[in-house]
Structure 1
């Protein structure tokens, strides 16, 4: 069923937002990208979330914090190439988080995510989301990301690929955490909550081993998330 107000067969002009998204997507095609996926057990993260969500902490901010802690240890994944000749190890870790809006999406940025605690990060995220809903987000609040996080797990999507935003080195697509039969190191089989993440990256700046190492670090942080609340 089409959405109310949609006239099937009609020619629809892009909105300003859709035009901006279109330009960015076309520009992204000029960047040689590659993708690396990883499966992460989330039982400990899920338990932590249940424990602190009443304090205003969202799963988005927990994933953001885990990502920024991993980026601290892998600065090449937080780097960017803008002219095709040089790349920059960005001095700030600014996590842009994709948010769906009418006729498009926008990426509010949690700036210097590695320098604030999870509770301050959650308050800042709420402020940004409120600005998005009120259409009051300022350009510097959505255009300064150094790494992007796209999470559609709330829609029960288990795995997807994301398109690299121009001017950044990487974007991570996060799927839903789902009960999965997994094998333990001692040879036993058990049920664990597991999510799949896929990172799309600029191949001019980083290589498969860089992303593999980053994802191994992220896996360790999420499977033992005590550092997320420090």
Structure 2
């Protein structure tokens, strides 16, 4: 059952992430019905309200600029081919961050990891609400504990910081942009805080069947890891025979001012051990 987030004269009750999202999407919170405890508005309520607005008509900020030639309608409803569409506030913010990231000298390292044990663990605990991305974030955080330089960051071009906390930023695509909710202190718990400052980023397109890709480094972080899909693969066994294993490809993009190739290689070896023997991922 859902409740209004506020009555007349009473302040609107909403999570920090919901407030941030409503501001980015230019959506009035007063028009959103909350589904959280005591009618509190959470992120999914704002997303649902924004989707409802889009289905009833394109908002002013997204209306195409008028063209002299007749518009061509694409196969996707609501899109006119050949028109010019200005960025939303969120798209503008993403654009500025991406341009800023181009000023950082980066390099990339790939690694193949067997996932049979992780897949087995996930099947056992997914009914409890634990996602594969959360397990990957936990495995990553435990590896970062042993390799703090990969969790470091350089913001002024003159020095870098060994961050005291491990906060995994997980890239999430929403309507009109990309946000990165944080798994704060991810080496200690799986429960996500809604918004904070990430020290390491994780982008998982494996759920969409993508087997390999590179991610752009977000400004202010030392590294981001791109996770591909787990695929059945023919491999040679230890006794020289042919066998089958599920394997996934991960590619890490890192700030080369701070992190060296050997640092990433050591980090990825530890990550592979955590995933291939996932006994420490739940407790």
Give the whole-Å Cα distance in 1 for the aligned partners of 2:86 and 2:174.
Answer: 17
**Aligned residues between the structures:** 210
Give the whole-Å Cα distance in 2 for the aligned partners of 1:71 and 1:206.
Answer: 13
Give the whole-Å Cα distance in 1 for the aligned partners of 2:119 and 2:135.
Answer: 10
The answer on 1:81 being equivalent to 2:134 is no
Q: How does 1:158-173 map to 2 (within 5 A)?
A: 158-173=211-226
Question: Displacement, 1:115?
Answer: 1.9
Name the counterpart of 1:30.
103
Give the whole-Å Cα distance in 2 for the aligned partners of 1:7 and 1:22.
Answer: 22
The answer on 1:157 being equivalent to 2:206 is no
Give the whole-Å Cα distance in 2 for the aligned partners of 1:182 and 1:19.
Answer: 45
Question: Displacement, 1:4?
Answer: 1.1
In terms of mean alpha carbon deviation, does 181-190 or 46-55 score higher? 181-190
Extract structure 1 runs of 4+ deviating beyond 6 A. none
Query: Which of 45, 50, 55 lines up with 2:118 in the alignment?
Result: 45
Name the counterpart of 1:68.
141
Tell me: higher relative CO, structure 1 or 2? Use CA pairs within 8 A at least 6 residues apart: 1
Name the counterpart of 1:56.
129
Q: How does 1:75-154 map to 2 (within 5 A)?
A: 75-116=148-189, 121=190, 124-125=191-192, 128=194, 141-142=195-196, 144-154=197-207
TM-score, length basis structure 2? 0.72
Can you give the 5+ residue segments of structure 2 that lack an aligned partner in the other structure? 1-73
Deviation per CA, 1:175-204, whole angstroms, max 9, x where unpaired? 000101112233222111000000000000
Name the counterpart of 2:92.
19
Give the whole-Å Cα distance in 1 for the aligned partners of 2:266 and 2:164.
Answer: 20
Can you give the 5+ residue segments of structure 1 that lack an aligned partner in the other structure? 129-140
Name the counterpart of 2:77.
4
Query: Which of 238, 243, 246 lines up with 1:190 in the alignment?
Result: 243
Give the whole-Å Cα distance in 2 for the aligned partners of 1:5 and 1:169.
Answer: 39
Question: Displacement, 1:112?
Answer: 0.8
**SS of the residue 2:133 aligns to:** helix
Instruction: Name the one with the larger helix percent.
Output: 1
Name the counterpart of 2:258.
205
TM-score, length basis structure 1? 0.89
Deviation per CA, 1:102-141, whole angstroms, max 9, x where unpaired? 111100001111122xxxx2xx34x74xxxxxxxxxxxx1
Deviation per CA, 1:152-176, whole angstroms, max 9, x where unpaired? 1111000000000000000000000
Question: Displacement, 1:145?
Answer: 0.2
**SS of the residue 1:199 aligns to:** strand
Give the whole-Å Cα distance in 1 for the aligned partners of 2:178 and 2:229.
Answer: 20
**SS of the residue 1:80 aligns to:** coil
Q: 1:33 to 1:2 in 2, by over 3 A?
A: farther
